[in-house]
A = this chain, B = another copy of it.
Amino acid sequence: MKQAKATAHTRLIKILKQNSLNITESRKKILQLFLEQDGALAHGDIEKRAGEKFDRVTVYRTLQTFVNKGIVHIIPTADNAIRYALCKDDCSEVGHDDHHIHFVCDNCHTTYCLDDIVTPDIRLPKGYSGRHVEMVVEGICKNCK
């Protein structure tokens, strides 16, 4: 699996460079967690999985940097635990463009970005104008059914 690993590593570097970020251990590690993961990650998940390796503050700052650069986006959920997920390529510092929906499993609490499902258009009441639609579906995921 040396090939795959090299490729993954290259991808990390590429993403960081594209966003004019210095290549550092913490950024590589945290970004890797996102890449090797289907779902979204909360701040706590990252601290756990990084394995005591980074300071809590570094995780906060790195996530903030990634959000600012449009590398990850925030998924709002009702349980007050902010989750982050990788953005598609069409996100950037200028603006996020994540029109897909999110899915949170009631059972395992994994959070997925369903990239292929686009948020539907909504007819708003008179006087309102929409700029962005955020949509989260709760239910049972493919692994828990």
Contact = CB atoms under 8 A, between A and B. Distances in A.
Interface in A115-145: 116-117, 120, 122-142, 145
A128 B106 contact: no
Interface stretch (A3-11, A16-24, A33-41, A71-79): A71-79
Contact of A103 (B75, B117, B128, B141): B128
Contacts of A133: 135-138
Given A133-B135, A134-B136, A142 B125 contact: yes
A30 interface: no
B140 A129 contact: yes
Interface residues of A, number: 36
A124 B117 CA distance: 8
Given A101-B122, A117-B123, A139 B128 contact: yes
Contact of A130 (B74, B127, B139): B139
B82 A134 contact: no
A49 B120 CA distance: 36
Which of A74, A82, A124, A137 has the most B CB atoms < 10 Å from its CB?
A: A137
